[in-house]
Amino acid sequence: MTSEVAICNAALAKVSNNRIASLAEGSTAGDLCNEMYGRIRDRLLRRHIWNFNKKRVKLAQLSAPPVFGWAHAYQLPSDWLRNIAVYPDSAGVSQTHGYQVEGRAILSDHANLYLVYGARITDPNDFDEMFREALAYALAVELAVPLAKSATLRDRMNEAFQAYAMEAQTIDGQDDPPEYRPESGWAEVRN
């Protein structure tokens, strides 16, 4: 079992700071971790299509259509962070590009929309192990100057974060087989 505090303590260890017992303990380190943790977690979740935060849904159509430009509006899920793929039917074969995100809705002319999206995952136990460590490095980058008063340490932590995040994203991406798409009509005629 891991926790937000454990991830923050991993970050604090990287910048040579004391450990915290709680995000709400009232210490400078606790206050900074409390302020930064959710924002940095969500930024890292949006940065890559992680396998652990992919979800699929059929979007609910809103009762009021857009005033102009599109026939329908669909409510984005409450935990939505980014689109991965949007489909006009449940077969999930041909993505549509006929949509636009506005606020917390997707506008489209399609009668139905199916969405694969990156979700906001808040339970650290649901994170991939390498994502947890990448998150600790990302926090360490932000904590280096306010806690250790060192821009040099921040730069070193940023280099370590970039390298580790790239490795984590590469390994995460290797868990999926390559996505094969049917050839277009043009390619079939050419053969």
Cβ of 175: how many Cβ atoms within 10 Å? 10
pLDDT tens digits, 119-135 = 999 999 999 999 999 99
The verdict on residue 188 lying in a domain is no
Predicted TM-score (pTM) of this structure: 0.87
Sign of CA dihedral 42, 7, 176, 157: positive
Residues 92 and 105 in one domain: yes
Residues 24 and 72 in one domain: no
Residue partners of 12: CB distance under 8 A and separation at least 6 = 18, 19, 20, 29, 33, 140, 143, 147
User: Is 102's pLDDT higher than 90?
Assistant: yes
Q: Confidence class of residue 182 from pLDDT cuts 50, 70 and 90?
A: low
Residue-range definition of the domain harbouring residue 95: 53-119
Residues 68 and 115 in one domain: yes
Give the orientation angle of helix 4-14 with respect to helix 28-47, to 10 degrees: 100
pLDDT tens digits, 10-29 = 999 999 888 999 999 999 99
Give CA–CA dist 97/15, Å, rounded. Answer: 44
Lowest mean pLDDT among 88-97, 114-123, 143-152, 178-187: 178-187
pLDDT at 149: 95
The verdict on residue 88 lying in a domain is yes
Residues 43 and 132 in one domain: yes
Residues 42 and 135 in one domain: yes
Alpha helices in 48-92 (DSSP H): none
